[in-house]
Structure 1
Amino acid sequence: MKKSAWLPAVIAPVVVAGAIAAPTLASAANDPIAGTNPTAADVIASVAKSSDAQYSGKLSQTSDLGLPELPAGSGGSSLEGDASDALSLLTSSHTARVYVDGATKQRVQVTQQLAEQDLVRNGSDVWTWDSKAREATHVTLPDHVKESFQDGTMTPADLAKQAIAAIRPSTTISKPTTTSVAGHDAWQLVLTPKSADTLVGSVELAVDKQTGLPLRAAIQADGQSEPAVQVGFTSLDYGAPAARLFDFTPPSGAEVTTKDLSDAADHAGSHRGAHGTGTDDAPTLTGSGWSTIAELPAGTADQGSLGADAQGLLGQLTRSVDGGRAIQTSLVSVYLTDDGRVLAGAVPVSSLVAAAK
């Protein structure tokens, strides 16, 4: 996998946070959360109102999963560059500049070791750019993705009720408390799994009181006092960013890959199938709630095709278990079976091994 493919892993909490719930609710009023004693549903509903937000800011992402810290890039080490870069996202801190102008214009810049990786969305056009590798990818989004941002058939209250109903069977939700993130007053929710079979201890979400924009998310592993993963704004200014920031032209001599998905069918329905059924693009899911396990089919992890350095790295980070090799961090476990399947989840390795049989 190319290094640029890991960029979404760094910036997903940013781009997704403003868009997962809000696009279908663009007609909702953009009033701040009413009153001084909102419910959890009120706070969740306010997130749905933030899709049209315009802002610029700086994000900080930290990870402490109990893995040894590795440098980004091979840097002369024996590690293969792509594997080292991917693992560095799980073992060290990163910062990113974020520019957002509504639901369909975003730019995220991740800078490290005199190199830059960018994700730029402008309407149906999405670009990724890796300055070190001088590689760019251009994707044209399908029509159904664009249309989904214009369907105003739900209200924020409807969405909040559905979200709360989906969460409550497996999760305890705290009453909102007051906090501050990057100089902005926010409501904080704490989601605590009811299941004892998950490695997740709790999730904290901070939401801007005035705009509904998610400002910080922290996942705490069971039994730990510090977040295993946290991403949040360290600075944030509201207002429309310069339009030029959402225009991207690959530099001369760059290697450009083009993917036109504009005519792709809407497979969303097939991805909403029951647990235990998968598609060519989606993993098979078993279990429920915080104990859900995702499985990719045989042939996904062909360990025999790895180079010597990658094989060595795999041997250092994983341990031999029944039927394959596995790694368990404080928050998530991954199991590579001898027949090439990959199972992962916020559960102990023993749960993955049992699910694979």
Structure 2
Amino acid sequence: MAPYESDHATGTGPDEDPRTGRRKAARYVVPVAVVGVAAATIGLVPALAASGDPDLPKITAQQLVEKIAKSDVQRMSGTVKVSTDLGLPDLGSLQGGMGSGHDGDGSSADPRTRLTELASGTHTLRVAADGPEKQKVSLLERDAEYSLIHNDKNVWGYDSASNEVFHTTAQHSGDRREHRPGATPDDFAEEALKSVDSTTSVTVDGTARIAGRDAYQLVIKPKQSGSTVRDVTIGVDAKTGLPLKFTLTPKSGGAPVLDAGFTKVSFAAPPASTFDFRPPKGAKVTEEKPGKDEHAPDFGGQFAPGGLSGADTIGEGWTTIAKFDTGAKGDKEDKGDKTSQQGGAMGGFLGSLGDQVSGDFGKGTVFSTRLVNALITDDGTVYAGAVTKDALVKAADADK
């Protein structure tokens, strides 16, 4: 085994920016537990190139994690392909595809609605960034295009099919995270790395060519038996430390639940015109005052352990389970039959789709996807997480 070599991970080196002599704030908010985790968690075996893969300098998992944490790519552009397969219907087709608009008073250009299409199916994105004040992501579908542009204090969303525009003002100018699309490999990688702790194995598994660039392969695996995640693979650019590809594979096998990767990437500054936007003639413009809600959904968090925030939690690491009280208790009235109306109308609907289970907690229904499972009990309590059905039942029993 190769020992950890501090000179590979700290100080100045070939990846430092010679124009500044110092790093800006790290792109990733990686907790101290990731960088200083015990050797039992971070694999110290250096990466070895397989036949046909690029022959790169040896690096340990800890050094590679630190390289990602120090990555500070400010300018870039490229094309990203995102494929999501949770075993659910294609949400884009359910919404009628690009340019279908909304029901009600909402704008079809509102990013909170439009970018949720990435939660299923395969999509192509064009992305660009020039520092913390300028970012753009375009979602390409059929003959239409949806673009989200952050330029200084302005955030614009534009749906070319409906010719609708959404506009708001950035609350915190210079905050890169506030207006990013949340659907690129580095976004997903950031969430995964936040979850590295004693419940996780992290190793380097060779090298690869991604979007024409040399990359290391970082593999993250749960150590806990109740998780539905088999592993997460992050392709890390060997020069800049930027994650170029993110793949999440379920224990059930088959296609990845999530596969997001650059097919083209450049680290040259995009043309300034990339971030220019004026509402086209005749476009319907919806103005919204900035509030507490994010204007772009965070797709990374939903796949990482602990990603179900804002709820009571049970367990730790990859087997964390979120607990919600819907308030929809079962109908206990005797209506001439013994059919339980689990969880009210919602429970009855899910009961026709899910698996009936019982235990010390009572009775309930488990609704399953290829990654996240949810148990809805008769009394309206929901237990959900990237865990197996048995893990949900065991958690519900222990909670009573």
Q: Counting helix residues as a fraction of each chain, which structure ranks higher?
A: 1
- Structure 2 CA distance for aligned equivalents of residues 106 and 87 of structure 1: 19
Pair 1:66 & 2:106 matched:
no
The amino acid that maps onto 1:332 is V
- Tell whether the 8 Å contact from 1:332 to 1:344 is kept in structure 2 after alignment: yes
SS in structure 1 of the partner of residue 274 of structure 2:
helix
- Tell whether the 8 Å contact from 1:40 to 1:176 is kept in structure 2 after alignment: no
- Tell whether the 8 Å contact from 1:65 to 1:329 is kept in structure 2 after alignment: yes
- Structure 2 CA distance for aligned equivalents of residues 315 and 125 of structure 1: 46
Which residue is 1:348 aligned to? 388
Which residue is 2:288 aligned to? 258
Out of 188, 191, 195, the position equivalent to 2:217 is 188
- Tell whether the 8 Å contact from 1:217 to 1:230 is kept in structure 2 after alignment: yes
The amino acid that maps onto 2:213 is H
CA-CA distance at 1:75 after TM superposition: 4.0
Which residue is 1:219 aligned to? 248
- Tell whether the 8 Å contact from 2:247 to 2:259 is kept in structure 1 after alignment: yes
Unaligned runs of at least 5 residues, structure 1: 1-17, 23-34, 149-159, 265-274
CA-CA distance at 1:54 after TM superposition: 1.4
User: Counterparts of 1:81-160 in structure 2 under 5 Å?
Assistant: 89-132=118-161, 134-142=164-172, 145=175
Pair 1:330 & 2:370 matched:
yes
- Structure 2 CA distance for aligned equivalents of residues 165 and 136 of structure 1: 32
Q: Deviations over 1:102-147 (max 9, x none)?
A: 3442211112133332222234543334445525152522479579
The amino acid that maps onto 2:63 is D
- Structure 2 CA distance for aligned equivalents of residues 107 and 69 of structure 1: 25
CA-CA distance at 1:164 after TM superposition: 8.1
Which residue is 1:21 aligned to? 29
- Tell whether the 8 Å contact from 1:140 to 1:259 is kept in structure 2 after alignment: no
Pair 1:52 & 2:73 matched:
yes
TM normalised by structure 2 equals 0.59
CA-CA distance at 1:20 after TM superposition: 3.4
- Structure 2 CA distance for aligned equivalents of residues 104 and 324 of structure 1: 49
- Tell whether the 8 Å contact from 2:222 to 2:229 is kept in structure 1 after alignment: yes
The amino acid that maps onto 1:248 is F
CA-CA distance at 1:48 after TM superposition: 3.0
- Tell whether the 8 Å contact from 1:100 to 1:106 is kept in structure 2 after alignment: yes
The count of aligned residue pairs is 290
Out of 244, 253, 260, the position equivalent to 2:273 is 244
- Tell whether the 8 Å contact from 1:124 to 1:146 is kept in structure 2 after alignment: no
Pair 1:282 & 2:310 matched:
yes
Which residue is 1:28 aligned to? none
- Structure 1 CA distance for aligned equivalents of residues 390 and 326 of structure 2: 19
- Tell whether the 8 Å contact from 1:176 to 1:187 is kept in structure 2 after alignment: yes
- Structure 1 CA distance for aligned equivalents of residues 226 and 266 of structure 2: 41
- Structure 1 CA distance for aligned equivalents of residues 215 and 352 of structure 2: 42
CA-CA distance at 1:210 after TM superposition: 0.8
Pair 1:170 & 2:169 matched:
no
TM normalised by structure 1 equals 0.65
- Structure 1 CA distance for aligned equivalents of residues 247 and 61 of structure 2: 17
Over the aligned positions, Cα root-mean-square deviation in angstroms equals 4.3
Which residue is 1:15 aligned to? none
CA distance change for structure 1 residues 177 and 99 in 2, over 3 Å: closer, same or farther?
same
- Tell whether the 8 Å contact from 1:128 to 1:137 is kept in structure 2 after alignment: yes
- Tell whether the 8 Å contact from 2:73 to 2:240 is kept in structure 1 after alignment: no
CA distance change for structure 1 residues 341 and 128 in 2, over 3 Å: closer, same or farther?
farther
- Bigger Rg over Cα: 2
SS in structure 2 of the partner of residue 72 of structure 1:
helix
Pair 1:41 & 2:24 matched:
no
- Structure 1 CA distance for aligned equivalents of residues 391 and 234 of structure 2: 28
- Structure 2 CA distance for aligned equivalents of residues 344 and 86 of structure 1: 23
- Structure 1 CA distance for aligned equivalents of residues 143 and 320 of structure 2: 39
CA distance change for structure 1 residues 258 and 81 in 2, over 3 Å: closer, same or farther?
closer
SS in structure 2 of the partner of residue 331 of structure 1:
coil
Q: Deviations over 1:165-197 (max 9, x none)?
A: 972401111135211101100011111110001
**Identity value in percent:** 34
Pair 1:293 & 2:321 matched:
yes
CA-CA distance at 1:37 after TM superposition: 1.1
- Structure 1 CA distance for aligned equivalents of residues 236 and 356 of structure 2: 42
Unaligned runs of at least 5 residues, structure 2: 1-25, 31-55, 104-112, 179-189, 295-304, 329-342
